[in-house]
A and B are shown apart, each in its own frame.
Chain A
């Protein structure tokens, strides 16, 4: 040890000893600093960073539940969710995405440049996110991709149920359509599990029965790594398909109604008089809900919105028209019940009715001669009803119109149903702050003036006339079933009110209505059919008074024409079905509307024959439920 140089320094290093004290201070500062930082990160901000780390690793992949099917009353499929395939590409799974797309283009006979363009546009997405190259691709493309799977790394097909409306436009307004959920709906429905991009019923039954049709969407909570690769499934919720909905609608009858209307603007409503079940409800022009199912293009949408013939409007529930002469049924019942007129006494019709300083003209120049109530209905004599109106007064007319459900929503399960309007003195006062002028009653008496109704209301009125005064709530859905066939909900007739009427009143009105079609001089002769006895009333609703409200001058010639009505039921003995037909600007009801009703009745009889017994059973069943 002696050879070592500084062996003699036994007091160590005094300067260093002194300086080392500073080291404690530096050390303390450094470690307090580090600990503070960790406190901040782990204790104070721990929650936020935990959220961020979960956010990092967890992706949610949703699978929408298959939407429920819709069947008609005979069990025929109306709406289905058919399988469709989207073409998916994950570029990260391919070593040479451009080349893969070139190959894909060749296999699918698709424009390669277009595929590459889609690829370039989608580049900003997160890594490993799917890129949709095509939606609802045709079957040949599915086969091609499956066959060449090995040459096409990263390309895959994703099955996805797509709504399919079997008969296209036929029942569009009843069935409705789906659309992507909008921002307003999303804020309201978020808690029910809706998410951006979900489809939701936007119209018709699809909208009103959304809750039951929709099913529960399932999904996976997937853990991904830093590259976005799926590592494992953390949680999984299986999707639950929506319920199957059975309608009261009859597909064949609906088809007949739609066919009858084709090329016209109008609506046909057919109701089962013993229950209020809607058997057919067609409105034209219609739209094809399948267009919405595949994703409507904005120009298609604006086309539908701007169409002057308003294809998106359901004329049966949303169209409000003057009832015209069909209102005479209400007038006749009111007259008989209120004792305002002896039905057997004749009046002389010179072709006009002087009232105040005005002359109200009959539709028939020269008049109908001597008419009693029966003839007045059969020939639709205006003069008779002018007089009757003057005797009844508007309030008693309104009372009976309302008893039959006119001027109020029927409560059918379709959105945005309109009220129509039955005016009275009170209403006039409230609406215009004016007293009712007696002259206005004269217009009301023939279903003009302020009176408006929806075709559905008139169909329901006819059902009540046919069944002896039972006003049912029209309904479309008879049964909701789960996929395994268990009944979830069941709907039957719902009586709104029983209209108390003398049997004599009914007999007289029903007889007159039958003679409108079958009697001499009846205005509804065009509905006469060898197959079935029909009772009904024609109507011609003038639109001139309304023109300023919604018509443009260049269309006046067409839109000026009268609306044609035919409201009816059949068979005359033991009525089963009531039908209201409205043809917009169709002219005379007897000429334009009655033949359409005839077609539907004939279809009704034709399809009823083989299943006569079942029908009767079902009706008895329905009647029981009503009691």
Chain B
């Protein structure tokens, strides 16, 4: 293994350290979100997140241990496995909060929709890795990737998990655009999408429709559907410039916030660390994404560039949708904040994704 030493010297420290930073912020905020003033304990969730971080580290190192070109072979098997797991969720899945998203694995519960997001990137990168036609891709050229994505989207919508379905769709669109879809074709796609919006609307569950309506008018039902959005904005706003301090967020501590340690963790963080803390956290994401776009440009080949792009697109859309939702500028959809929100499957998947990026990064010098 003569390349090992060179690989180690090319280990992507910036990405690794950024990931550690996100996980650290995450564990800290999960601790605060679950802290009970009366008992002085935060329960088992912070420790579990740390455990998942350990598993995530393993996933990360596995993802960077082999030459990423093997992914070309692994993409379909991985995809097939996700499909099977998602079907399994439907059959034996565990319900929580009105949807069936988890498979009980004994000592932990797996949420297959999280790694399924990665499967999209893998199969798309594989599909688009060959040189694109000079004229670009027409929509009719894309029936294969569309067919690949459709079952995943449908299966997550059935759970129902609108957030994941949106991420799957939006990553898919990002990938085909990056892969070389003609702008005109893209415009047609957008047009068709808008035309199908009313049909899509009827497909939504009442509570999901409610969320969208509430977003359009939060005062529509301030104690019902609008409650979460309003309380989340109060939490963020009352953090002001420097925040209320660690463990001192009252909106959080007194349970005015929904899903404090998962999807709304950014509100907890904002309340306690203020605008200053938020700016730092967003800056870290910004640096990570900019760095990865740089990797897309410097990747050794098209396959690597597409892999990096897909993975960083996942990060980007998660951050954008999650923060926008928590800050009240987007309807509430269940999308976690990458590596910060509580959730083992999401953390491990995200660390695996970073591992893939690091893999490409390390091997861009290798011929």
Q: Taking beta carbons and an 8 Å cutoff, which residues of A are in contact with B?
A: 1, 4-7, 9-10, 12-13, 15-17, 19-20, 23-24, 27, 30-31, 33-35, 37-39, 41-43, 45-50, 52-54, 56-57, 223-227, 231-232
B352 at the A interface (CB under 8 A): no
Given A6-B302, A53-B238, decide whether A38 and B275 contact each other with a Cβ distance below 8 A. Answer: yes
Contact of A27 among B240, B289, B305, B324 (CB under 8 A): B289
B241 CB–A CB distance under 8 Å: yes
B297 touches A9 (CB 8 A): no
Contact B237 A6 (CB under 8 A): no
- The chain A residue with its CB closest to the CB of B255 is A226
Instruction: Say whether B275 contacts A56, CB under 8 Å.
Output: no
User: Please, what's the 1-or-0 string for B145-163, where 1 marks a CB less than 8 Å from any CB in chain A?
Assistant: 0000000000000000000
- Cα distance A34–B278 in the bound complex, in angstroms: 10
A–B pairs, 8, beta carbons within 8 Å:
A6-B301, A34-B320, A37-B328, A45-B237, A46-B237, A57-B254, A225-B255, A226-B256
Of B77-85, B228-236, B339-347, the one with at least 4 CB within 8 A of chain A: B228-236
Bound together, the chains give a CA A575 to CA B233 distance in angstroms of 80
- Chain B residue contacts of A52, Cβ below 8 A: 234, 237-238
List of A residues within 8 angstroms of B241 by Cβ? 42-43, 46
By the criterion CB–CB under 8 Å, are A42 and B274 in contact? Answer: yes
Shortest Cβ distance from B222 into chain A, in angstroms? 12
Q: How far is the CA of A47 from the CA of B297 in the complex (A)?
A: 44
Residue B217 lies at the interface, judged by CB distance under 8 Å to chain A: no
Q: How far is the CB of A451 from chain B (nearest CB, A)?
A: 68
Inter-chain CA distance A267–B261, complex, in Å, is 75
User: Using Cβ atoms and an 8 Å threshold, which residues of chain B touch A9?
Assistant: 300-302
Given A50-B238, A53-B250, A37-B324 contact (CB < 8 Å) = yes
Give 8 new A-B contacts, CB below 8 A, not counting A9-B300, A49-B233.
A19-B178, A27-B293, A30-B316, A31-B285, A225-B255, A226-B254, A226-B256, A231-B254
User: In the complex, what distance in Å separates the CA atom of A350 from the CA atom of B265?
Assistant: 108
Q: How far is the CA of A45 from the CA of B241 in the complex (A)?
A: 11
A10 and B367: CB pair below 8 A? yes
CB contact between B301 and one of A12, A15, A39, A43 (< 8 Å): that residue: A12
CA distance A27 to B323 in the complex (A): 14
CB distance from A352 to the nearest CB of B (A): 86
Instruction: Please encode chain B, from 225 to 266, with 1 for each CB lying within 8 Å of some chain A CB and 0 for all others.
Output: 000000101111111110000000011001110000000000
* Nearest A residue (CB) for B235: A53
**Cα distance, A486 to B132, chains bound together (Å):** 99
Q: Which residues of A contact B324 (CB under 8 A)?
A: 33-34, 37
Closest chain A residue to B366, Cβ basis: A1
Shortest distance between the CB of B182 and any CB in chain A (Å) = 12
Interchain CA distance A24-B290 in the complex, whole Å: 7
A27 touches B254 (CB 8 A): no
B299 at the interface (CB under 8 A from A): yes
Contacts of A47 in B (CB 8 A): 240
How many A-B pairs have beta carbons closer than 8 Å: the answer is 157
For residue B124, CB closer than 8 A to chain A, the reply is: no
Q: What are the residues of chain A within 8 A of B285 when measuring CB–CB?
A: 31
Chain A CB within 10 A, most for which of B178, B237, B274? B237
Beta-carbon contact of A38 and B254 below 8 Å:
no
The 5 closest A-B pairs by CB, nearest first: A49-B237, A46-B240, A53-B238, A13-B302, A42-B275
Q: Which residue of A lies closest to B327 (CB)?
A: A37
A16 contact from B237, B297, B328, Cβ within 8 A: B297
CB neighbours of B328 from chain A (8 A) = 37, 41
**What is the chain B residue whose CB lies nearest that of A225?**
B254
**B70 and chain A: residue at smallest CB distance:** A4
The docked-state distance in angstroms from the alpha carbon of A35 to that of B177 is 26
In chain B, residues 111-129, which have Cβ atoms closer than 8 Å to a Cβ of chain A? 129
Chain B residues with a Cβ under 8 A of chain A: 37, 67, 69, 72, 129, 132, 177-178, 180, 231, 233-241, 250-251, 254-256, 270-271, 274-275, 278-279, 282, 285-286, 289-290, 293, 296-306, 309, 316, 320, 323-324, 327-329, 367
Question: Contacts of A43 on B, CB cut-off 8 Å?
Answer: 240-241, 275
A26: nearest chain-B partner, CB-CB = B316
- Are A35 and B237 closer than 8 Å at their CB atoms? no
Are A20's CB and B296's CB within 8 A? Answer: yes
CB-CB nearest in chain A for B179: A16
| A232 CB contacts on chain B under 8 angstroms | 37
Q: Which residues of A contact B305 (CB under 8 A)?
A: 12-13, 16-17, 20
Tell me the nearest residue of chain B to A18, going by C-beta: B297
The answer to whether A31 touches B286, judged by C-beta atoms less than 8 angstroms apart, is yes
Q: Taking the nearest CB of chain A, how far is it from the CB of B238, in angstroms? A: 4
Residues A224 and B297 in contact, CB atoms below 8 Å apart: no
Contact, CB under 8 Å: B282 / A34: yes
User: Closest residue to A19 on the B side, CB-wise?
Assistant: B178
Measured in the bound complex, the distance between the Cα atoms of B177 and A23 in whole Å is 11
| Residues on B with beta carbons closer than 8 Å to the beta carbon of A27 | 286, 289-290, 293, 316
**A15/B300 contact (C-beta < 8 A), A42-B237, A45-B237, A225-B255 known:** no
Picked from B237, B271, B278, B282, the residue with its CB within 8 Å of the CB of A48 is B237
| B67 cross-chain contacts in A, Cβ below 8 A | 1, 4
Contacts of B299 in A (CB 8 A): 12-13, 16
Are B296 and A50 neighbours in the complex by a CB distance under 8 Å? no
Instruction: Name the distance in Å between B316's Cβ and chain A's nearest Cβ.
Output: 7
Complex partner residue of A53 from B251, B290, B303, B309, CB under 8 angstroms: B251
The answer for the CA separation of A187 and B286 in the assembled complex, in Å, is 54
- Tell me the nearest residue of chain A to B295, going by C-beta: A20
From the candidates A6, A24, A42, name the one contacting B270 in the complex (CB within 8 A): A42
A57 pairs with B256, CB closer than 8 A: yes
Set of chain A residues within 8 Å of B255, measured between Cβ atoms = 225-227
Shortest Cβ gap from A29 to chain B (Å)? 10
Within 8 Å CB of B237, what residues of A?
41-42, 45-46, 48-50, 52-53
Q: Which residue of B lies closest to A24 (CB)?
A: B293
Tell me whether A5 and B72 are in contact in the complex, defined as CB-CB below 8 angstroms, given that A12-B302, A34-B327, A56-B254 are known contacts.
Answer: yes
Assembly CA distance A38 to B277 (angstroms): 11
Contact between A15 and B132, CB atoms less than 8 A apart: yes
- Residue in chain B with minimal CB distance to A51: B238
By beta carbon, the residue of chain A nearest B320 is A30
B360 to chain A, nearest CB (A): 11
Establish whether residues A39 and B275, one from each chain, have CB atoms under 8 Å apart when the complex forms.
yes
Q: Would A46 and B279 be within 8 Å (CB), given that A6-B301, A34-B327 are in contact? A: no
Residues of A within 8 A of B231 (CB): 56, 226
Residues from chain A with Cβ under 8 Å of B250 in the complex: 53-54, 56-57, 223
Chain B residues whose CB sits within 8 angstroms of the CB of A20 once the complex forms: 293, 296-297, 305, 309
Contact B178 A16 (CB under 8 A): yes
A23/B293 in contact, CB under 8 A: yes
With A49-B236, A49-B237, A52-B234 as contacts: A41 and B302 at CB distance below 8 Å: no
B236 touching A38, Cβ below 8 Å: yes
Which among A10, A20, A47, A52 has the highest number of chain B CB atoms within 10 Å?
A20
Please give the distance in Å from B120's CB to the nearest CB on chain A. Answer: 18
Give complex CA distance A5, B235 in Å: 53
Residues of A within 8 A of B72 (CB): 5
CA distance A391 to B299 in the complex (A): 128
Residues from chain B with a CB closer than 8 A to the CB of A41 are 233, 236-237, 327-328
Indicate whether A6 sits within 8 Å of B129 (C-beta atoms), given known contacts A43-B275, A48-B237, A53-B238. yes
Select A6's contact among B132, B177, B279, B303, beta carbons within 8 Å. Answer: B303
CB distance from B314 to the nearest CB of A (A): 14
Q: How far is the CA of A2 from the CA of B303 in the complex (A)?
A: 16
Q: How far is the CA of A53 from the CA of B270 in the complex (A)?
A: 13
Closest to A30 in B: B320
Which of these, A1, A16, A57, A226, contacts B306 with CB under 8 Å?
A: A16
**How far, in Å, is A598 (CB) from chain B's closest CB?**
72
Tell me the bound Cα distance from A610 to B157 in angstroms: 97
A224 and B238 form a contact (CB under 8 A): no
| Complexed CA–CA distance, A499 and B279 (Å) | 86
Query: How distant is the Cα of A1 from the Cα of B363 in the complex, in angstroms?
Result: 12
Q: B302: which A residues are within 8 A, CB to CB?
A: 6, 9, 12-13, 16
